[in-house]
Amino acid sequence: MVKKTYDEITRTTVPEPDGSWRPSPEQVKQAHEGFRALDADEQQLAARVHAALSGVDGVSIEVTRDRVTLRGRVSAENLARAPDLVRAVDGVATVDDQLTT
């Protein structure tokens, strides 16, 4: 994989390269690592997981095939509840629980 320079990344990701806007460190990281968009099945699974977690605040999810990664800061009550809700969603094979209180 050929590493792109900051200017090459900027030309392809910045709406107005001459403006003052610059990509965030996360965007630069994604540009170097390659950002992978969700396929249709993953989008549907993500929608079902979001629906299952509708009553839980502070959780972000990442879906890779049938694996769901949970990140964020939640209440002590939701620390055990959120992964259980996700495991019950049809299509979820693995839950990577990285939640904290």
pLDDT confidence of residue 90: 95
Express each pLDDT in 22-37 by its tens digit. Answer: 778 888 887 777 667 7
CATH T-level fold of 40-100 = Histidine-containing Protein; Chain: A; (3.30.1340)
pLDDT confidence of residue 3: 81
**Pairwise CA distance, residues 99 & 7, whole Å:** 36
**Which residue stretches of the chain have pLDDT < 50?**
none
pLDDT confidence of residue 24: 81
* Domain boundaries, given as residue ranges, for the chain: 1-35, 40-100
The residues, ordered by sequence, that sit 6+ positions from 74 with a Cβ below 8 Å of its Cβ are: 56, 57, 58, 59, 82, 99, 100, 101
Q: Which two tokens stand for residue 47?
A: 């929608």
C-alpha torsion angle, residues 44, 50, 54, 59 (rounded to 10):
180
